[in-house]
A and B are shown apart, each in its own frame.
Chain A
Amino acid sequence: MTPVATPFFFYLFAGMMLIGGILVITRKNPVHSALALIVTLLAQASIYLMLYAPFVAGVQIILYAGGIMVLFLFVIMLVSIERSMKERQFNSQRVVGIIAATALGGLFIAVYSKGKDIFPDHAVRMTAAEAPNVQSVATLLFGPYMFAFEIASLLLLVAIIGAVVMAKKRI
């Protein structure tokens, strides 16, 4: 089950991701931003599939697109967005911010152009990732990364309690 037409799909999904990302940070209406972000996330899930990471792709769809983004949309509907849409959208440090981001981009370009030789030149290697992905990930997750896994569950518990405490009117 090798991916077909890899370059075509890579550029298609990369384009979707970038256009989605640009829309996220430029739209006035947060709902539109959220929808653009969903496009980005789904395109990224497809790219995960191309990278032989089906389990991550599945988690991306079910958790990010189906869970976190619904939470975002939910909150956007709870808070009134009418007023914020009429206001100025970018803050006063926007020029500085864009300059800093450009500098960071320059850094990226410098690093990648200097160090492109250390990455494999042609198509990425065929690896053990061909083996049933879910089982291998699970072996890692519940083997070497067991402690991290438990910490993550603790983090989620803390987040649940934190969110409830924060959002509830009266406890």
Chain B
Amino acid sequence: MGGSTMDQIVQYIQSYLNTRGLTPGAAGNMFWVLVYIMLVFLGLSVAVIAMNWLERKILAHMQVRLGPMRVGPHGLLQPIADAIKLLLKEDIMPAEADSFVFWMAPLIVVLAAFTVFVVVPFGPTHAITDMNIGILFMLGVSSLSVLGIVMAGWASNSHYPLMGALRSSAQMVSYEVAMGLAVVSAILMTSLNKDGTGTLSMIGIVQAQQAQGVWFVFKFFPLGLIAFFIFAVAMVAETNRAPFDLAEAESELTAGFHTEYSGFRWSLFFLAEYSAMIAVSSIAVTLWLGGWLRPFPNLLTGPTWDQAFSYIPGITFLFFAATCFYNTVRMPKHPLFRIQTIGLAGFGVVLGLIGLMLFISGVSMRIQDIFWFSAKVAGFMYLYIWFRGTFPRYRFDQLMQMGWKVLLPMGLGVLIGTGGMGLRSEIWNQAVLPFGRWIWSLV
């Protein structure tokens, strides 16, 4: 009996592998759903840690300094040291705070930030699930994080957090409108096929780009580009990052809504901020930059090009490994640096092995989608850091003006323009030509 149960379980697990082209959620296979959730969670945590280190290093190099150099070679272990520090720190709760709400707020923010990854498509089958309302779900759940921020600000029972929360909620609610309009114009583009039905499903959107043979950012040039620009601005505002970081404007409100938070709870906010950044970047990548599609999927077709592009992930990792080895050689030749040098070399070896693994044809075919998706998201992450290094901060009224008086009309215009371009033959045949004929008949 036990053996047959075992067999059933194994069969259940294997049954998913036979369903080609379905996400585990769509196939309804609980085991693989859990595996995917674990993988996404793990990948996201690694991404946040890497992002933490990269932001410090890149920002530091933009600002003519070195950034973390002490913990591990080139500060590679700094995020881990920070995490340990934050976990060990005292968790302070203000005496007059509303303890339950204070306790709940970071959880809600983190939950909202992580839940959106349920529908993010890292590949045609590499998503936890594919929902009919995918993009709506993403926007909806990410808009829930504003609740956590408001709760945090209110529960702290202090003026600066309250003002930060009010600013933040007003900002997020108003930029959601512009964001939504930009998203709608991209969704409208998905409906430009033979049967005329679009889709809200994240996977469907990427497949529509594949079918139409163009990334939506280049579609109806420059309409797609403008919509993308609106979204790119709104998403920076949505995640409260510079130059829209008024909610946590250090010089004005000390730290905004999380002024009173410390230790682990604070680190939850930090985690949520970074995963929200990754989440909105994923939306942008999915909607406009072709999601998991490699560059030029329609132009450079054929097995040769497929083969060539499948080498790129491996080459990238080998390049990282080579960078590590180069810096290993450049390390100071002092006994005190011996451990760091060995560590850096070890890191390089690990990266190199990953790179070599990616050359195995089976692996490279499976990993490609994820690689291209992550590479595009990484580009957005660099953009975030770049913004932070370059721009001063907007003032609140200017921010609102930008949202309501610039982005919103632009979004409406793009939406109308996209609709008009999509229906241009119908408009020409059914409105302009008859009207012209009518005028002609009058003459």
Contact = CB atoms under 8 A, between A and B. Distances in A.
Contacts of A77: 150, 154, 162, 165-166
B137 A132 contact: no
A38 B97 CA distance: 21
A58 B144 contact: no
A85 to B, nearest CB: 12
Contact of B132 (A31, A54, A61): A54
A67 interface: yes
A74 B150 contact: yes
A132 B169 CA distance: 33
B208 to A, nearest CB: 14
A58 B147 contact: no
A55 B135 CA distance: 11
Interface in A1-49: 1-2, 4, 29, 31-32, 35, 38
A70 B165 CA distance: 11
A107 B153 CA distance: 44
A129 B119 CA distance: 21
Interface in B111-162: 131-133, 136-137, 139-141, 143-144, 146-147, 150-151, 154, 162
B200 interface: yes
Residue of A2, A133, A135 with most partner-chain B CB within 10 A: A135
B280 to A, nearest CB: 14
A4 B104 CA distance: 29
A65 B137 CA distance: 12
B165 to A, nearest CB: 8
A38 B147 contact: yes
Nearest to A31: B154
B170 interface: yes
B147 A61 contact: no
A134 B154 contact: no
Contacts of B166: 74, 77
Interface string A121-158: 00000000000111100000000000000000000000
Interface string B336-364: 00000000000000000000000000000
Contact of A134 (B98, B132, B141, B173): B132
B430 interface: no
A29 to B, nearest CB: 8
Contacts of B26: 1
A74 B200 contact: no
A160 B351 CA distance: 56
Contact of B146 (A1, A2, A31, A66): A66
B136 A70 contact: no
Interface string B195-211: 00111100000000000
A133 B132 contact: yes
A55 B101 CA distance: 30
Main secondary structure of the interface of A (DSSP, over half): helix
A70 B197 contact: no
B147 A57 contact: no
Nearest to A131: B132
A69 interface: yes
Interface in A55-105: 55, 57-59, 61-62, 65-67, 69-71, 73-74, 77
Interface in B154-193: 154, 162, 165-166, 169-170, 173, 176
B28 interface: yes
Interface string B84-103: 00000000000000100100
A62 B143 contact: yes
A73 B101 contact: no
A66 B28 contact: no
B136 A62 contact: yes
Nearest to A64: B140
A135 to B, nearest CB: 5
A70 B101 contact: no
A77 B139 CA distance: 25
Contacts of A66: 140, 143-144, 146-147, 176
B169 A70 contact: yes
Contacts of A135: 197-198
Contacts of A2: 28
B150 A61 contact: no
A70 B133 contact: no
Given A59-B136, A61-B140, A133-B132, 20 more contacts: A1-B26, A29-B98, A31-B101, A31-B151, A54-B132, A54-B133, A61-B143, A62-B136, A62-B139, A65-B140, A66-B146, A66-B176, A70-B147, A70-B150, A71-B173, A73-B147, A73-B169, A74-B170, A77-B166, A134-B136
9 contacts: A54-B133, A62-B140, A65-B147, A66-B146, A66-B147, A66-B176, A67-B173, A73-B154, A77-B150
Complex A-B, nearest 5 residue pairs according to Cβ-Cβ distance, in ascending order: A66-B143, A61-B140, A62-B140, A58-B136, A58-B133
